[in-house]
Amino acid sequence: MTPPARRDFRVALVGCGRISQNHFDSVKQIDGLSFTAVCDIVESRAKSAGEQLGVPWFTDYERMLRDAECDVVVIATPSGLHPHHGILAAKAGKHVISEKPMAITLASADALVHACDEAKVQLFVVKQNRLNPPIQLLRKAIEKGRFGRIYLANTTVRWARPQEYYDQATWRGTWEFDGGAFMNQASHYVDLMQWLCGPVESVVAKTATMARRIEAEDTGVAVLKFRSGALGTIEVTMLTYPKNLEGSITILGEKGTVKIGGTAVNKVEQWQFSDPDEDDALIESANSNPPTVYGLGHLGYYRNVLAVLRGEATADTDGRGGRKSLELILGIYEAARTGTEVSLPLKV
């Protein structure tokens, strides 16, 4: 009996800015996905991306949804616009891939989830750092119980974003469209904390805007209490001199200590357990040296997207998964704003 043909999917992207090249490069490497259109309100960016890919380009998003031949829409616009653009795509019958964060409020995140549910389309939220090989090994170690009881978890994001970065686009660093260091740059790291260590029970935090002319914070710290009883800390700054220094996560447990470091959780710096395991031999081969802090996980993410669309897998991170890390970020902001300990889950 001849197996059924495996369907290919056509992809369009809105928002041809900083992160779009990672999407272009990843899709190009996957047999079964191809870009068929791009859109940006800045004509020069849309035209440049369209010519690079050899596809039609648009400056009107709703026109692209009407006229372009596509099955999937990638949302890579400013964060505050992700729900609006995703909802329009869902209503047009397109599957939705949203860059992080999926929204900057829980209400708008829920509206996007419900729109995709109603349209019976898939909603994917890009969390590519989950797919870094060292992070995958760390997740397996936790699932195998190699740490025993986890006592303390820490993530540190010591990056550099000069004022020129924020001045390149008026939406950067604003509360309406972006948020600050926690919501934008450290979003993946906040996600890793709750994905690896489980639900957070409460949080206290301090944030500050010390050296950048923006509305939101350029620096912040948070202390988490997990439901398991473990404690956690998150340290984030965009003021590191003179360049990106570290994007790391460390987990300390009863029978194990692991630190995944590098500039983007791409290198195993500590890997100590009381009992050996076959995964220990994979440490060196898991290390990578990505060219940017975005890492190399978009390729693996798109492989999962294709498998889900073909009915062969479940989503690595869907809309409800993406909402969890957004809720923790908003809890951190609420704790910093009020100076109180904030319990999770939040009320919408």
Residue 5, pLDDT score: 57
Residue 284, CA distances (Å) to 129, 138, 267 in order: 18, 13, 9
Annotated domain spans of the chain = 9-125, 132-265+325-343
* Rounded average pLDDT over 190-214: 98
CATH, domain 132-265+325-343, list 3.40.309.10, 3.30.360.10, 3.40.718.10, 3.50.50.60: 3.30.360.10
Predicted structure pTM score: 0.94
Per-residue pLDDT reduced to its tens digit, 61-96: 999 999 999 999 999 999 999 999 999 999 999 999
Residue 290, pLDDT score: 60
Residue 211 has pLDDT above 70, yes or no: yes
Nearest partner of 59 among 38, 78, 40, judged by Cα: 40
| DSSP-derived secondary structure for 65-129 | HHHS--SEEEE-S-GGGHHHHHHHHHHTT-EEEEPSSS-SSHHHHHHHHHHHHHHT--EEE--GG
Per-residue pLDDT reduced to its tens digit, 216-262: 999 999 999 999 999 999 999 999 999 999 999 999 999 999 999 99
- The C-alpha atoms of residue 127 and residue 125 are separated, in whole angstroms, by 6
CATH hierarchy code of domain 9-125: 3.40.50.720
- Quick check: 114 and 89 in contact, CB under 8 A? no
Q: How confident is the model at residue 347 (pLDDT cuts 50, 70, 90)?
A: confident
Q: Which two tokens stand for residue 63?
A: 């026109």
Least confident piece of the model among 3-7, 124-128, 330-334:
3-7
